[in-house]
Chain A
């Protein structure tokens, strides 16, 4: 379990992370979201035992990271932002070096390196020096480095940044395959990734924790959540009027239509479900409904709401 309690990090006068608390259990993939410079990387670095917090506590599987970073790091596999690697080394040489730092030597080291090269699909480039690798291979080398010692906790700082869609999928599949037996924390600003991978998401903005819930619940905060799109056979003006009279409907938008068929969008006052009211209204007027769907909400909308209200709330300097 990763436990972060009232974490604060100040760089001089600037507060990069401001009173952040959360806990992550085994089997959870936690997505850390936030705009650039929000404090995601600083938070992850503190969990990884690289930066000391100004205040607050971090523990990994019960080990206090601040008091004993080395013991904590033995539980952690960490893939830093921008994949720093020793450019002059070969992929296999680099992983062999990291394996030695992780306490493997001789045959065991070679076995680990071979296994991880296979797992991360790096066998083809094992003898290439790192500075000749493409971005995708660099990422995978960095991920391989984090997985060498089969850690209980994985911290991945923007693991798919700068990859093409196929490479992204490879990395996602790997994360997905490990999700059950590990604690995984990954930072990203690709929102689709959160929906595809994470069982929980936190949003950090200006160093503060703004939201912490399942991505599906997060989407419910979206202003368009439960907006109902109805396709029906009805005269336009009457339909607009009739649906507008449903008590929970704030407004009715005309999307498309001709003299027979209309597509209307009903926006609820407070994200209530409108399906029952809409069906009743159509039945009363004997209008035939051909299709109806309610909006699941959109993560990018929520992300924008949460991270920009923070900006607005604070007076500009």
Chain B
């Protein structure tokens, strides 16, 4: 029976987050995921961590971005927690993006549509939703999020193994 849990608490810094790839990949491989699955889910963790670092509402140096991966025979659950941004419009946009992805019959269609949208816009760094669409498509994950009573945003990606 497969069962495991992995967690990391990271300084919300780009290089620190990038360096977590190897630990994620090792954990997933050691728990029996094949190379392609371990890669796709490590990518998923990276995309969620990158979003947390970019758009999290970090207000002091003690705050961390937290990564949790749990798995069993049925599912792999990847969860990233970070302080929620103070602007409610950000949460609304996140919710809209997730609902928009779910509205497509297949995540592939959503991803292609998002690529087309991005290609037609003038370049400006910021939220495009491309990373979430990619997680849904390439990671084959169902996305969700909640904000807890301490204003921490928990973003989850669930990948069904069966």
Report whether chain A binds chain B: no
Interface residues of A (CB under 8 A from B): none
Interface residues of B (CB under 8 A from A): none
